[in-house]
Structure 1
Amino acid sequence: MHITSLQPGEVFVFGSNASGAHGGGAARFALDHFGAVWGQSEGLQGQSYGIDTMSGLTVFEEQVRRFVAFAAAHPDLRFLVTEVGCGIAGYRPNQVAGFFADAGENVVLPKSFRAVTDAT
């Protein structure tokens, strides 16, 4: 799934870094197209949601937990998750997809993540 546009109520979920410097990859795309805020690393930003993937797996997993709770509290929104952590951060889907295992039906995972979460 290559996300280039969003419908109303859809949110682009991307990997960020602790400083919210959205200089490349999906973070830059979110900054340029979906309202991501330079300097904000985590949370809802316009029609996007950032998750810090660059501060280690523990921080990454904690932020995904908060994201899953946020998504559950906002069933009116549909969250389109990119392969967070699998670009600049350098993780593989089998290392991080499980973090999203408890995500609700309004969270759309990339095919590579679903292959991992559906197998468990």
Structure 2
Amino acid sequence: MTYRYHDESIVKALPEDTIFVFGSNMAGTHAGGAAKTAHLHFGAMKGVGRGWSGQSFAIPTMNEHLQQMPLSQIQHYIDDFKIYTKNHPKSKYFVTSVGCGVAGYTVEEIAPMFKGISHNVIFPASFRPFVEKALPKLNQHFLHTVFSDAVIFAAQPEEAVAELDLTENEKSAAKIILNTQIYPTDSNGRDRIFEIQDILHVLQGKVFNFQHSEDDALMFGGAILALLELYSINEKDFADTWLGKQEISPPKAASKSKK
């Protein structure tokens, strides 16, 4: 399942059908971070530390004494939220980095708890590797198969990916890469051309000999940038994997839970 994502910048307004989802404490103090934003701009009520109020939805990550909740308890409240989104399908849900601020947890610990939620959710971009299908290990075969003109410039990328000699998880990753808007602007309207040009400069002659028009080269480089961001790697990692010098494991959820 593929979700929509936001760039985690501070928002002060959302469409009427979109609910602001934030991490809270059971006391409902809403004194800082996304909770304060929810109170100031999205109708979160003081004293309401759980569930819907105004244009917001609170997921507790701290107790009434402002102490960190155990992950197992947070999972319980996230499961409640999953049910809420399923029962209210006409609304969209703008999820912030719940539990990753004052509560002190990491994205790797929190994001996997949302896996399998309804499709009407907009996640922070950092959650992506943990809520999509499991990402595959990057290897030479995957890169050579996906980063070809026949795939990158296909009129129907989804159909092109379906025909590739890849596993289902690899096809899922390929679709994420090809569907990630980077060029001419990314999904948040930011110009990424200088970043793409830097990538092309580093890889030219070492991995590729680009013989494309400028627009096509930038589109190709944009797909590479999408991969680098998805796996949190750099151009050298890409080049070494392309040349078969290494394989790269995907981002994984932390195996240790905080008590």
Q: What is the RMSD computed on CA atoms of the aligned residues?
A: 1.0
Indicate how the Cα distance of structure 1 residues 10 and 69 shifts in structure 2: closer, same or farther if over 3 A, else same.
same
- Secondary structure at the aligned position of 1:51 is classed as strand
Matched, 1:81 2:95: yes
What is the TM-score of this pair, normalised by structure 2?
A: 0.45
Letter of the 1:92 counterpart: T
Matched, 1:108 2:116: no
2: CA distance, partners of 1:102 / 1:50: 19
Partner of 1:52: 60
Match of 1:33 among 31, 36, 41: 41
How many residue pairs align between the two structures?
120
Partner of 1:16: 24
1: CA distance, partners of 2:93 / 2:104: 22
1: CA distance, partners of 2:85 / 2:133: 23
After superposition, give the CA deviation of every residue in 1:37-73 in whole Å (9 maximum; x if it has no partner): 1011110110000000122212211000000100010
Higher strand fraction (1 or 2): 1
- Secondary structure at the aligned position of 1:79 is classed as strand
- Gapped runs of 5+ residues in structure 1? none
Q: CA deviation at 1:85?
A: 0.5
Match of 2:50 among 42, 48, 56: 42
- Secondary structure at the aligned position of 1:94 is classed as helix
Q: CA deviation at 1:118?
A: 2.0
Matched, 1:6 2:23: no
Higher helix fraction (1 or 2): 2
After superposition, give the CA deviation of every residue in 1:58-96 in whole Å (9 maximum; x if it has no partner): 221100000010001000000000000111111111101
Q: 4+ residue stretches of structure 1 with deviation over 6 A? A: none
2: CA distance, partners of 1:109 / 1:100: 9
2: CA distance, partners of 1:10 / 1:118: 21
Identity across the alignment (%): 39
1: CA distance, partners of 2:83 / 2:53: 16
What is the TM-score of this pair, normalised by structure 1?
A: 0.95
Higher RCO (CA < 8 A, seq sep 6+): 1
Q: CA deviation at 1:119?
A: 5.1
Structure number with greater Rg is 2
Structure 1 range deviating more: 55-64 or 84-93: 55-64
2: CA distance, partners of 1:80 / 1:106: 9
